[in-house]
Amino acid sequence: MMSWSQVGFQDAASPVMEEFLFFHDFALVVLAFILGLVGYMMVIAVTNRSVVTGLLEGQTLEALWTALPALVLIQLAVPSLLLLYSLDEATDSQVTLKAVGHQWYWSYEYADFSSVSGEVAEFDAYMLPDGPSPSFRLLDTDNRTTLPWGCGVRVLVSSADVLHAWAVPSLGVKVDACPGRLNQVSFSSHRPGIFFGQCSEICGANHSFMPICIEMVTGGDFLAWVSALL
């Protein structure tokens, strides 16, 4: 979970989210350097007015303040673009989960698993008014979405009524749920645990009360859970 008085990102649980955190920290270092440099130059300009007012041109300085910002922007743009394309990269998935947004709950379907009679594993997930811990208030659900960690997971997201968004920050996932349209995202978790998310698109009066609760377990526990669901 988050630390520093609930300020900052949640702990990363996927390779993509780890890269996001690294890029965020790198961008903050660059920002701090730029702010420090600009602040230093402003102090120099104020405390040495006689020198600054007499400075009419400086080709070397102009070349530097053109080249250095360009290099800084390139250093920020390259990892940013790599991360952007990694979000849409199609990977081999062992499990497919379909998530459908409703006002105001989520329904899930495991299309890869069905009973002998042909019934597909599916359920609805509603918010628990009071979670087992005060830290999880308005985040836990009556039916947790269970998935295997260490495996590729593909999530198909849609909506039955209005616009929603299926988002789990720890996994670095956010997908729009649009009526009549099927969006998809792939991810994998490198550790077990329980990860919380929420609908991230204004969808009505109870928008704040349709959380997402993902429980990552081992492959064996996942198969046992699906068998019990069927």
3-state DSSP assignment of residue 67: helix
Per-residue pLDDT 10s for the chain (230 aa) are: 555 556 778 888 888 888 888 899 899 999 999 999 899 988 887 887 766 666 677 788 788 888 988 999 998 999 888 888 877 766 778 889 999 999 989 999 998 887 767 778 888 999 987 755 655 778 888 889 999 998 889 999 999 989 999 999 888 899 999 999 999 888 888 889 899 999 999 988 889 899 999 999 998 899 888 888 87
Separation between Cα atoms, residue 133 and residue 130, nearest integer Å: 8
Answer whether residue 1 is part of any domain: no
CATH of the domain at 74: 1.10.287.90
Decide which of 87, 116, 143 is a domain's last residue: 87
Decide which of 53, 71, 87 is a domain's last residue: 87
Same domain, 143 and 40: no
Phi, psi of 91 (to 5 degrees): -120, 160
Decide which of 87, 105, 125 is a domain's last residue: 87
Q: Where does residue 81 fall: left (phi above 0), alpha (psi -120 to 50 degrees), or beta otherwise?
A: alpha
8-state DSSP, 9: P
Q: Report the sign of the C-alpha dihedral through residues 48, 54, 56, 57, in that order.
A: negative
Same domain, 115 and 218: yes
Q: Where does residue 125 fall: left (phi above 0), alpha (psi -120 to 50 degrees), or beta otherwise?
A: beta
Same domain, 114 and 210: yes
Half-sphere exposure of 42 (CA within 13 A, CB side): 6
Separation between Cα atoms, residue 141 and residue 210, nearest integer Å: 9
Same domain, 64 and 43: yes
Same domain, 140 and 207: yes
How many domains does the chain contain in total? 2
Omega of the bond leading into 104 within 30 degrees of 0 (cis): yes
Residue owning tokens 């811990």: 133
Structural domain boundaries, residue 146: 95-229
